Amino acid sequence: MEENNEPTSNEYLEMANHAKELVEIAEAKMNLYKNQNIELKKNLLTAYGSIRVLDHFVGIDCPEEINMYVEFLRSYLSDLCQNYIV
């Protein structure tokens, strides 16, 4: 008696449906990661803009430690924006 090892059409259909489900799950995860990435970039740009405004106003009548801290934050956020957004 000869064995038939070829998959049936139903087995092909099940494999195709399973592959489609896996692709849909991967696409959903990718879209979620893209949206989270966009939100993170928006938040980073907002923080950078805020610290730049603060840097502009803090120079007047502020202790030197605060000026240095704001300058450090501005520089740090500038580097992050340059490396991850631009």
Look over the chain and give the mean of its residue pLDDT values, rounded to a whole number: 88
Task: Provide the pLDDT confidence category of residue 1 given band limits of 50, 70 and 90.
Answer: very low
Domain boundaries along the sequence of the chain? 9-84
Contact indicator for 22, 30 with CB cutoff of 8 Å: no
pLDDT tens-digit map of 48-57: 999 988 888 8
Higher pLDDT, 62 or 4: 62
pLDDT tens-digit map of 22-47: 999 999 999 999 999 999 999 999 99
